[in-house]
A and B are shown apart, each in its own frame.
Chain A
């Protein structure tokens, strides 16, 4: 269902087009250099904030840049931006999608990207391929929806509690006893 393999067994491919999805982690530059070292012939596209990728593009390490407006993206808050990025990755197209860590969300991104291979270059400079079945990705997506419902309900509960607490306090009936 889900497996990781260390290099070289996990990455015995020769990609012509690589897309690096830049997200949290300060090992971004290392990831770019490592990809260029391993696959010097491949065209490298970086999806990430301009301030991080532009200097490397100027240094000739990055071929294309898909600019992201924010450092951290939230699927709920930045839905349009996420859809635009996904479309840009799909339009690529790419042979290898590299992410900077492994997570269910990034596995779903890979499933939707149409890219045949997914690899991770993590903060410990480990480079490995990730293979996730579509069923697993679907389960993750359903799990995400369930979590969002649970989270939403909890959030509403907390916010309502704080609202009522504030209201009670304004009316001089704060349910607190100072020590």
Chain B
């Protein structure tokens, strides 16, 4: 079977985020399918997140490449990775998570078949990969308007840079000299060089298509055994139903105020519901909204089982929207914003409803429909679970998407 080298600058295990989980599941899944998978991870003991790996917890070989502060640059880093990967002589090089240095890494492996996975809008938005500003998705991006986007990014990165207290994002920004006009050329040529680009949703695919025609949408996955299906409790018209919003509710981009406004609209006409938000700040509490505190990932299945409806009112285009898929796996109907990956994972009218981002009256309308109809809640929840089992379980994702992409890349190269 083919040899796959996964190159990642952000990997840590236990994971610090969804990108790490995706890389780990991909590597483990490919190994189970018979591929010889080795992970090459950047290791910076002086930087949080980079390469803090407990190798005994992983079922594939890991090569940690250690960097000092001085060697973590666009010049030295690709050479170090190239030297390490050449020793393995892989058939395909797969690029996992990294930000501004990814184009230089891709260019360094130009003579290998290259597959690059993008986890969010990292090449399109230098302002913390969000493609979002002031409540709206941006109508331009870095590849179209590089100077405009760099100025916008500097507003956000001003303080980490001024104080020389870098997070991983601003650190790579400086290390890659991404503020130079020539960086744009490296990004475009590296995009064109990739034999395959893998993204989470159709919106990101459409952004990549002018630069590379081999773009594949592969969704993220969820551990369906951790989120068991449970039928919502049969509640009568007057029983209190619980509407749940999970995740980083305090993050302005998650749109909790849209849910607050929608709840206020509904409160004028009914009192048979309550809204739970996973937030510690009790000042958000009123007679409808209840901040139930931050819930760790292991407590979420229990929380979903107690809720009747789940809401994901995100304002920014979530690349994947893990919470929506977890709620669907738990058998709950989801009302989500029609943006980014949420528009792909939730099927409008089947597993929940999609509403325009930031539209509180539309959200209230859909919640009203679900609050009034117990059969609809149960039916949508059941179809949501079926959809997750069909599309979003890790073994299925790996088995259905990756072997065809890898074979095509190897044949084409």
Query: Is B truly associated with A?
Result: yes
Residues of A within 8 A of B (CB): 26-30, 51-52, 55, 74, 76, 147-148, 150-152, 154-155, 158-159, 161-162, 165-166, 169, 174-177, 179
Q: How far is the CA of A6 from the CA of B282 in the complex (A)?
A: 28
Taking the nearest CB of chain A, how far is it from the CB of B69, in angstroms?
11
Within 8 A of A (CB), among B179-214: 179-182, 184-185, 188, 192, 210-211
A55 touches B192 (CB 8 A): no
User: Which of B143, B164, B279, B281 touches A151 (beta carbons < 8 Å)?
Assistant: B164
A162 touches B174 (CB 8 A): no
Within 8 A of A (CB), among B270-288: 279-283
A26 touches B162 (CB 8 A): no
A162 touches B179 (CB 8 A): yes
> What are the interface flags for B205-239 relative to A under an 8 Å C-beta threshold, 1 for contact and 0 otherwise?
00000110000000000000000000000000000
Q: How far is the CA of A179 from the CA of B211 in the complex (A)?
A: 8
A148 touches B179 (CB 8 A): no
9 more A-B residue pairs beyond the given contacts A154-B161, A176-B181, A176-B184, with a C-beta to C-beta distance below 8 A:
A26-B280, A148-B164, A150-B164, A151-B165, A152-B162, A154-B174, A158-B161, A162-B154, A179-B211
> What are the interface flags for B133-163 relative to A under an 8 Å C-beta threshold, 1 for contact and 0 otherwise?
0000000000100110011001000110111
B164 touches A154 (CB 8 A): yes
Taking the nearest CB of chain B, how far is it from the CB of A167, in angstroms?
11
B280 touches A55 (CB 8 A): no
Taking the complex as formed, is B61 at the interface, i.e. its CB lies under 8 A from any CB of chain A? no
For the complex of A and B, 3 pairs with smallest distance between CB atoms: A147-B164, A151-B164, A26-B280
Taking the nearest CB of chain B, how far is it from the CB of A22, in angstroms?
12
In the complex, the chain A residue whose C-beta lies closest to that of B294 is A26
Q: How far is the CA of A51 from the CA of B282 in the complex (A)?
A: 11
B165 touches A161 (CB 8 A): no
Taking the complex as formed, is B45 at the interface, i.e. its CB lies under 8 A from any CB of chain A? no
Taking the nearest CB of chain A, how far is it from the CB of B213, in angstroms?
13
Taking the complex as formed, is B250 at the interface, i.e. its CB lies under 8 A from any CB of chain A? yes
A175 touches B182 (CB 8 A): yes
**Residues of B within 8 Å of A, CB-based: how many?**
31
Q: How far is the CA of A40 from the CA of B20 in the complex (A)?
A: 43
A26 touches B147 (CB 8 A): no
B147 touches A169 (CB 8 A): yes
Q: How far is the CA of A165 from the CA of B182 in the complex (A)?
A: 11
In the complex, the chain B residue whose C-beta lies closest to that of A146 is B164
A158 touches B185 (CB 8 A): no
B192 touches A179 (CB 8 A): yes
B161 touches A27 (CB 8 A): no
Q: How far is the CA of A27 from the CA of B294 in the complex (A)?
A: 9
In the complex, the chain A residue whose C-beta lies closest to that of B173 is A158
Chain B residues with Cβ below 8 Å from A26 are 250, 279-281, 294
Within 8 A of A (CB), among B101-143: 143
Chain A residues with Cβ below 8 Å from B180 are 161
Q: How far is the CA of A26 from the CA of B279 in the complex (A)?
A: 8
Chain A residues with Cβ below 8 Å from B147 are 162, 165-166, 169, 174
User: Which of A30, A51, A150, A159 touches B283 (beta carbons < 8 Å)?
Assistant: A51
Q: How far is the CA of A174 from the CA of B148 in the complex (A)?
A: 13
Asked, given contacts A74-B159, A148-B162, A150-B164, whether A159 binds B188 with beta carbons under 8 Å apart, the answer is no
